[in-house]
Every structure is written in C-alpha cells, then in structure tokens.
Structure 1
Amino acid sequence: MSIDLFLYSYWNTRLDTTFLRYLNTPELMFASVNMSEILTSLLGFAALSHLTFRIINYLIYNELEEMDGAPLWSLPILFLMIGVLILPIRGGLQTIPINQSNVYFSNKIYANHAAVNYAWNFMHAITKHVDADQNLFVEYPPEKALTLFDTYRKPLLLSDSIQRPIFNTQKPNVILIIWEGFTGKIVGPMGGDSLITPYFNKYIKEGLFFSNFYANGDRTDKGLVSLLSGYYPQPKKSIIKMPMKSKKLPLLSQSMKLMGYHNSFYYGGDLNFGNMNTYLHNKGIDEIYGSEIFERKDWNSKWGVHDHVLFDRIIEDLKQNKQHPFFKTILTLTSHEPYEFPGKYRFGKNSETNKFKSSMAYTDKAFGDFVAFAKTQDWWDNSLIIITADHGHPLPKNQGEVFNAPSRFKIPMLWLGGALTNTGVVNDNLGSQVDLAYTLIDLLGGDNSSFEFGTHLFNSNEKQFVHYVFNEGFGTINNSGHIVYDFIKKDAIQVEGKEEEILKSQGKAILQTTYQDFLDK
C-alpha cells in the first residue's frame, strides 16, 4: 500500500509490475521518494502490523483453549468454502471476470484510479497480459496496420522546408544535452514561467527553437531509446532493459561513427540503472563515462553528481580535446526527485513544486555557464549544441490538466551554435523524440535508413503527427487536435478537435505496428 501511495504521485498509475524493472538497483528506485515518505511508510506498516496482531490475539488466540477440535466431516466444507471464494475474486458468475473497467465511473481519471484496488491491480498485472509475449494491441490485420503506419509516415520523410540549408558547414561538432524532466511547462516562450530558465530562454533568440516538440514516453529509459535509437517506447515494458532486444536497435552514435565522428557519452549517475550500460556498449561510442569518474563528495544523496560538476568535467575534457569532428551526449540528473543541489533554492523548498522549479533553475545556470564557455572556444563556429529532455514532467501542475495530457509530454528542443545558418528561428512543426536521429543524420549527409520510425522535422506537410505512450494508454496529436486514450476504459479520456475517430485509428495502428516490431526483435 505504501509503495502504491507514494509512487502514484510520481508515476500516475496504480501499483503494477513497473517497479519490478528497477529491483536490480533498489537504491535508485527509492530515489523517487524522499526520506519522510519512507519513514511514514515504515511507521504506518509497523502500526498496522501491531494493530492486526492485537486484534487476532484478542479474537482468536485467547479462545483457542476453549475450542474443540473440528470433526473430520468439516474438511469437505472447508474446501468448498475455499472454492466459493473464487466467485468474489472473479466478481460473480458472469462470462467475463471483473477488471479495472468495472470500477471506472468518472470522466476524471484520478477518481477512476482511486476506485481500483491496488492489491488486486498488482496481482492482475503479474498474472495477466502485462508480461505476455504476444501483441496486446491488435486492432487490425498485421498487413493493414503496417500499411496504415506507412501511409502516415511516408509523406513526412523528406526535408522540404524553406529553412534549409540548416548548417553552414558540412560536418559540425555535435553536443546533445538530454536534460532530466525538462518540461515545456517551465519555459517562458512555451507559456511557462519566464523566471525559471532565463538562460535557456535567452538562447532561444540565438538558435533554432522547436516549439511543438514532444517526448514519446514518460521515463528516462524510454526517452533515451526514442532520442538515440529513433524507436517508439512500449507501455509497461522497456526495451532498454532487455539486452537481447536492445542490442538490435540502431544508435545515433553508430551512424555518427560511420561519418567519422569521435563519440562520447557522459552521465553523472550509475550507468547500470535501467541497463543503460548494456544498451550503450558496442554501439560506436568511444568513451562512456558514469558516476565512477567523480568523487563521492560531489554527489547528491540519491542519483549521482550535481549537474554543474558534470558540466565542469566535460569542459575540462573539451579543453584537452584534439579529435574533430566530435559527438558528445550528456545526460543530466539534478532535476530528478529529490531535487537536491548545492546553493540557494531560488523558489524555495517548501513544496515539491518549488523544489522542482528551483532544481530546474539550478540546471539552467549550469547549462548557461557551459554555453558561455563553448562560445569562447575555437570549435564553436563549427559546432551544434542540441538541448532537449528525456521526458516531460507532471510538475508544475496546471489547473484542470488531465493525467497524461499532451502538456505533460511537451518538451523544449533548441539547436544552438556557430554551425547554424540562421538564428532566432522557430520551427513550429509537430515532432517528437523519435524524429531527431532520422533528421540529424539526414542533415549531416549520412544514411538514416536504420531509423525506421522517425520522420523529418523539416518537412512542411500538414499531416505531421506525434504519438506517445504511458502505462495505461497513449496520446496521438495532429495539427487538428489530439486524443488521450485509456486502455482500461477502452476509449478516449480527453479529446480536442473534431478528428477523434481518425486519431484513435492512427494511434492504434502506430501502437500495434511498433509493439509488434518490439516483439519481433
């Protein structure tokens, strides 16, 4: 119960098998809750256990001496009663046993989630479809689903934007910064509070800003696969945690290596978390750096080193760097719960929202200092810095916001650097993480055919779309509106625009096709 209670506020789903994927790194799994929550949970468990013991002792144990032994003929009755218990477990004698849909009663998904029994939900997730090796999302014959997906994707594969040429050099150095939980809800030009990320807001005017960009999943392991492999994530599963499957994925660094790039990956935390290390190895990356290269004094209490320490190390490496062109991937972590960092909390720390905003302001300063350094280097004029997020964030909460609405998945993406032909430009095309690798490799003159699910971010076709997933559903967006679809309700829980049925069909075809590819890996 305690696990369900605390993780729900971060993951927005009732207890299922998701947390089991993180049992190999329990210290990082518990980083999603703070110490006060853990202590409250333990005290509650102890109190409940003591109360249960006292009640059982009073009602049963004190009466044992006065109880006669049960006659032998009562055994069949006992087994019969045990068998009868199957009826309330399945919900009655009807053909279809109960499931979560039976308790969904409201248009507010939080109320529906509250009605679900967490213990039943967990056992259902273990014993039923969650871990089945079959396509759980079949809506069409396989050939039709694939044809539909190709119909959506093919018009969007070529760059036909008037913004070309994007680069003024053939092979710019590339630095990809993946900012933990960097939601569009805190970025001024995206409608957020302009005081949270002033450095990022300033650099938007100096770069190429993607104002309609989305994450494809809701966790870091899903965001990495989307960004680096151009691969759609799966509801309730994570391909990065399955080495036999993840080794078959393309990786951006492999394509960059073929074009002569020297590749590095930096993360201030444990590379074993989420099987990240296995996913990255043997994929064209020359150096992979994790928490082992940093001193323990520079760590926060949970995840790894503070972001400014990470950027300082990269700055030192860049000062010594003699290999060009280079491709560096940087994954930050300070803006993850519990939002710990040195220095002043600009928005205070009296609430989770204010701690989150303060951590974003801290990372924004570290990012701003890094860009200021880069501008002083001789490689700046031949370089591209890409800043985006691994996923969005439920904070800060907007009034009336539906769980897993597009606003939670909308993230910034900014291209910055001397390699850009034009600056101060906004690209408002719909796009998502799976499109980055496909687009970048094309712009660099490489072969992007291994990224089979991406579309081109500089395609002006009006049929652009975005698709994202979460544990119990998906969202699909086009230029006319969006839907958020819930697997349990088996219907849309939020609709905007007049193309609900078209978006449902599109989302189901994309999910069926991409999930089948996951199973076939």
Structure 2
Amino acid sequence: MKKLCLSGIVLWLSWILAVISYGEKEWWMFFQTIPEIVLLLTFLYLIRVIKNKWKYVGQGILFILCIVYFIQCIYYSQVGEFMSILALENADQAYLLIRPAYIICLLVILGVSFVLVQGRKLYLSKRNLFISIVISVLSAGGVYIQNTNSHFNWPLIQNVHRGGTPIVSLSKNIVKSIIPLTKQQKKIAGYPFEKDWIYKNQLPFPVKSDKHVEQPNIIIIFTEGTSARLLDCYDGKLGDVTPNIDAFAEKSMVVDRYYNHTAATFRGTHGQLTSCYPRYGGNEKGGWVGNKAGSGVSKQLAQRDYQSLPKLLNERGYDTSFISPHMQEDPYTDLLNMLGFHQVYTRDSATEFLPYNPEFWHSSLTDQDMYTELVQILEHQTTSQPFLIAMYTFETHTNVDTPNDGIKYKDGSNETLNTLHNVDNAFGSFWKYFMHSQYKDNTIVIFTADHCHYHDKPFMSLVANDTDYVKCFHDRIPFIIYDPVHSLPERYDAQNNTSLALTPTICQLLGINNEKNSFMGTSIFEPMDAPPILATGLDFYSIEDNHVIRPEQLAENDKKAVQQQIEKISLFYECEKANHVFH
C-alpha cells in the first residue's frame, strides 16, 4: 500500500510540474488529474490480486496508460492543454516538440511506469474490496464529470471540467479521429452547394481615375500560424517587431476583426482557396499526410472536385502558381495540384531560381529563401500574361525557432517574436523590390495567414493579459490588401468575417461574379447572411462580442442560428465524401 501511495505522489508531482512549467496560475489546476490518478491506482491495486495470466495483460495495459499519462503531462507543459484531435492530425510534426530534456524524461517515464505496475501479490479482504469499489465508483464519477458536458453549476466543477483528464481525453480524441463523421454515408441528391453567383453587389470602392488594369496580377502570401494581435499594425504592443509589414500596411488596406475559419495548414490553404470547410486535414484518418496521391484515401481526396480561385483564374488566361517550402513528395504538393495551380514550385525546384544552394530548416526552405525565390520568379516573368502567385512560408510554425543565421528579436528569448521578426525581415526584402518594380501599379498583394498562432508557451506569454483572447486554434489573423487599382480605405472592419471570405473577396476585387461555384463564404465587402462559424473537423466555435466562443456558451436566442450553420457544414462534409461539392 505504501508503494501505491508513493506511486500516486509521483504521478501527481509530474502533473504539478507540468502546470508550473506552463505557467498556469489557477490553484485548482493542481488537482485536475487526481480522480484519474486514484482510479488508475485502484485498478493497479485490484490487478495485483489476480492469480492467472490475465494479471500480466492488465499490468501491460496499465503500463501503457502510465506512459500516456506522463506524455500528456509533458505535452501540457508546452502548450497548456492535452493532445487535441488537431494535434493528432499533425502527428507527423511531432519532431518539432523533441528536446534532449524530453528524451531523458521519456526514459525516466518508462522506468517509473514499469516500477509502478510491479509489486507483490495481494490478498483482498471483503472490507478492502468494498472500499476499492467505492473509491473506483467515486473516482470514475469525477473523471466522467471532467470529460463530459456536465451541467453542474458549482464553479469549481465547471473549472475542472474545462480541461478533461490526460488518459480519457486522449482516448476520446483518438476515437473521434478514427471514427467517421457518420456510421453510414447519406445519399446526397445533386450538388446542394452549387450556385451561379459569388457576390450580390458591386464593389463599394471605385477604380482609381489614373489606373486602368484589365486583369491585375495577384500575389497571396500565407504566413504560417500568425495572429493579427502580434503585428504592430494591428494590436502589437511592442511596436518594433514587424516594421516591414507595417510599411506595407501603410500603403494598403488593413482588415480588422477577421478570423481564421479553420486549421491547420492543409485545411487553411484548402478552405481559403475554395471558400469551404474541408473535413480532412493532415495526419488524421482520412487525411492527406502519410499517403501519396496515387494510392489509398489520398487518391480519393485528390480526385474530389471543388471550384477554386486558381481554377477561376485559369479560365481567364491567368498563369497560376504556388511556391511551397516543402519537398515535391510532400502531401501538401498533392493538395495544391488538386486545387488547380498550373505550377507548384517546391523545395526541390528552388535551385531553378535561387542563385545558390539553399540550406533547409526543419526540412523546409527558410522564409528568407522563400521570399528570394518569389522575387526571382517575378524577375523571370517574360510574358504579359496576368498571373496568380500564392506562397506559404513555414518558419513561424509553433515550436520552431529562427535559425542561427536568421534575424532574432532583441535577446532572442521568445521563439514567437523571433520567428515573426525574422519573417518580417524576409518580407521586407520582397517589399523593397516590389515597390521599385514594374509590378507596383498592376499587382494586388495580399498578406494573410493559413491560420492563427497555436497557443504554445512562448505565444501565451505574450497574450496572457489579453482579455479578448480565448485559448483555442481560432483568433484574428492578418488580412492586408495592397491594391493599386481601387481606392480602398486605410482600414476596413470585416465585422467578424472569416478566412472563408478570402476567395469571394478577391473575386469581387477582380469583378469575377456570375460563375458556377460552391463557395460558402461571403466577401468582406458584403454583409454576412449567417453567424460566423469556425470549424476544425468536428470541433466548432462561433464569435460573439469579438470573442471566440463555444456554441453551447451562446445565448439561447443565438444557438439556433449557429446550430443551423453547423448542420450546413455537416452536410458539406457529406457532400465532400460523395464528391458532390462541385461539378
């Protein structure tokens, strides 16, 4: 019994260290895992009574559960939550979390977990059996309350319920990521999302009197995981993190109250360029990562039909290309090809444009090399054919710091500020070139993000006091439009519109309207006809009073409209599955 108590203390201390490491300040967080610890130890106590071979099976299961518990503690110490479905979907990027200290911790975990499940055989009296059953029931009840939508009004229970528990929360998310949306695919009649218009009214801003550009070029820059609140031209409090993006913003229209509608990169790229809610992202069951487009589930994804911005522009004689920092064999390339780009430039083709052999950072092109490649591609344009060039830069990814030859922010102590300052420097080299080039009078440049910043420890240290920030994978993202053709205002309020609006907004700027499409979004220049929904697979949020909020937290009179939109998104998922989005 003493050994069991000591084991419980070890489990609890590992959680306390995780909470302290992340910087949580609420005292109740220290007790978050106690019900699950007690339940685990009670089962361990009972298993030691078993005399047959099933004892070793039970010990093996408990050994695995102990490892899961400790790994969840390590994960929490870095991001302030247990592994979400989105984290499981991006398991291919787990290497970004690897540190030497974590490897040492994992070895210690294996040793401690092995010791925990060992012990001499016990003899169970009726009294101890009764006590064990009572403790198991009470602990199981506590774990159930923490991991379900309980309706208790006690403040402590409501707080503890917020986070779930390490083992059960991971188990739930694994099941959710494996089980399909519905047990049986619904039969979809027709193409319910198709329509023959993109926007309802003319652009409310006139063409500049001295400008007449029939088909403006378009450059779209998707910056990995960037929240608007850190950019100086938005809410940035430091004032010197993004001077080059600020200079760009001074000559552009800065869009306020604009949120990412989905995450992470696969969904963010796909969803913005097709104005939809993609059901599948990266590494989840049914997702893109881990399979080439020529086989399995990824083949089905690559063969699905969507209307997209590059496809619309292809029909109008544009040359459409995308610059990716990843290798040619990366599934991200398959996604971009499916979206209809004429040309996808990857890490492998970078030497066609760069005057040197690039060094890779986390197996991808650096942000500086990406912007250098963009400039070189512009320099190599030899025809008057209008173009769309989109690109995605990687280095601002969570748990990635600036390389040694990059530009760090001040003392380099905060990864988030380092990478943002570094990408700003890279963007500055492009912007200086652009403003002295032939393109400044005929090319629209859009700076945005694939999604907001993930709530890791360096980011949370910067926004911990922001009363309008909610710790989830949705936030305001930058949307800055340089348009030499139209007289746009310096700032524009999107009124809680989302990145679902990117493609409809660009179409309105270009005057592309009466085309068959399946776009679910509304241009930022038109009023939304439904409440904004933020969706990452089966995880839904909405926006109320400039706060991201769970649908169940909305006022009763708002829930119905939000639920109708969620049902619409669920129907879209079914249409995707049946390839009935667009034809």
Q: 1:235 to 1:362 in 2, by over 3 A?
A: same
Residue 428 of structure 1: aligned partner:
493
1:134 aligns with 2:182: yes
Compared CA separation, residues 109 and 183, structure 1 to 2 (3 A): farther
User: Are 2:171 and 1:123 equivalent residues in the alignment?
Assistant: yes
What is the rounded CA distance, in whole Å, between the counterparts of 1:198 and 1:15 in structure 2? Answer: 35
C-alpha distance in 1 between matches for 2:411 and 2:415: 6
> Any gaps of 5 or more consecutive residues in structure 2?
1-67, 124-129, 289-296, 577-583
Tell me whether 1:349 sits opposite 2:412 in the alignment.
Answer: yes
Deviates more, 1:409-418 or 1:466-475: 466-475
CA offset at residue 265 of structure 1?
Answer: 0.6
Task: Calculate the TM-score normalised by the size of structure 1.
Answer: 0.76
2:16 corresponding residue in structure 1 = none
Mapped partners of 1:268, 1:506: distance in 2:
40
Indicate if the aligned counterparts of 1:13 and 1:113 stay in contact, CA closer than 8 A: no
Cα shift readout 1:257-276 (whole Å, capped 9, x = no counterpart): 01110011101124655x32
- 2:322 maps to 265
The one-letter amino acid paired with 2:206 is R
Q: Secondary structure at the match of 1:366?
A: helix
The whole-number CA distance in structure 2 between the counterparts of 1:256 and 1:306 is: 29
Q: How does 1:505-516 map to 2 (within 5 A)?
A: 505-516=560-571
Conserved 8 A contact 2:227-2:475: yes
The CA deviation at 1:363 is 0.7
Change (3 A) 1:238 1:176: farther
Give the alignment of 1:51-450 within 5 angstroms. 51-54=112-115, 59=120, 91=140, 99-102=147-150, 106=155, 111-114=160-163, 116-127=164-175, 131-134=179-182, 157-160=199-202, 162-165=204-207, 168-193=212-237, 194-234=239-279, 241=288, 243=298, 244-245=300-301, 247-270=304-327, 273=330, 275-294=331-350, 298-323=358-383, 324-336=385-397, 337-341=399-403, 342-350=405-413, 354-393=414-453, 394=455, 395=459, 396-399=462-465, 401=467, 404=470, 408-418=474-484, 420-422=485-487, 425-430=490-495, 431-446=497-512, 447-450=514-517
> Shift in Å at residue 19 of structure 1?
4.2
Between the two proteins, what is the percent identity of the paired residues?
Answer: 15
Deviations 1:224-257 (A, max 9, x none): 1221111124599798636424622222211110
The amino acid that maps onto 1:411 is I
Q: Take 2:386 and 2:137, find their aligned partners in 1: how far apart are those partners?
A: 66
Q: Aligned partners of 1:103, 1:47: CA distance in 2, in Å?
A: 39
Give the letter aligned to residue 258 of structure 1.
E
**In the superposition, relative to structure 1, how do residues 457 and 168 fare at CA in structure 2: closer, same or farther (>3 Å)?**
farther
Match of 1:50 in 2: 111
In structure 1, give the amino acid aligned to 2:378. L
- Counterparts of residues 443-462 of structure 1 (less than 5 Å): 443-446=509-512, 447-459=514-526, 461=527
SS state of the match for residue 381, structure 1? coil
CA spacing shift, 1:9–1:310, aligned 2, 3 Å: farther
Pairwise CA RMSD: 4.2
How much does 1:505 deviate? 2.4
Q: Structure 1 residues 305 and 110 mapped into 2: Cα distance closer, same or farther (>3 Å)?
A: farther
1:476 aligns with 2:542: yes
Q: CA deviation at 1:502?
A: 3.9
Write the distance in 2 (CA, Å) between the matches of 1:374 and 1:213.
26
Which of 555, 566, 572 is the equivalent residue of 1:517? 572
Q: 1:451 to 1:181 in 2, by over 3 A?
A: same
Secondary structure class of the residue paired with 1:454 = coil
Partner of 1:21: 89
- Does the Cα contact within 8 Å between 2:245 and 2:428 map onto a contact in 1? yes
Structure 2: how far apart are the matches of 1:203 and 1:121? 43
CA shift, 1:409, in A, is 1.2
Contact kept in structure 2, 1:207 and 1:425, CA below 8 Å: yes
User: Contact (CA 8 Å) 1:135, 1:515: kept in 2 or not?
Assistant: no
Q: TM-score, normalised by structure 2?
A: 0.68
SS in 2 for 1:101: coil
Contact 1:159 1:456 in 2 (8 A): no
Structure 2 CA distance for partners of 1:266 and 1:381, relative to 1, 3 Å? same
In structure 1, distance between residues paired with 2:227 and 2:203: 26
- CA distance in structure 2 between the aligned counterparts of 1:329 and 1:304, rounded to whole angstroms: 17
Q: Specify every segment of 5 or more residues in structure 1 that has no aligned partner in the other structure, as ranges.
A: 68-80, 137-141
Task: State the Cα distance separating 1:216 from its structure 2 match.
Answer: 0.7
The letter for the 2-side match of 1:381 is D
Alpha-carbon separation, structure 1, partners of 2:176 and 2:511 = 47
Residues 189, 45 of structure 1: alpha-carbon distance in 2 compared, 3 angstrom cutoff: closer
Match in the other structure for 2:10: none
How many residue pairs get aligned? The number is 464
Partner Cα distance (1:272, 1:111) in 2: 44
Residues 402 and 422 of structure 2 are in contact (CA less than 8 Å); yes or no, is this contact kept in structure 1? no
**Which whole-Å CA distance do the structure 1 matches of 2:138 and 2:346 have between them?**
47
Separation (CA, whole Å) in 2 of partners of 1:289 and 1:413? 24
Q: Deviations over 1:123-144 (max 9, x none)?
A: 23344686233299xxxxx99x
Q: Residues of 1 paired with 2:422 and 2:170: CA distance?
A: 37
Q: For 2:532, what is the secondary structure of its paired residue?
A: strand
Go from structure 1 to structure 2 and tell me whether the alpha carbon gap of 1:462 and 1:512 turns closer, same or farther (over 3 Å shift): closer
Q: Is the 8 A contact 1:235 1:472 kept in 2?
A: no
Equivalent AA in structure 1 for residue 270 of structure 2? V
Mean CA deviation greater in 327-336 or 378-387: 378-387
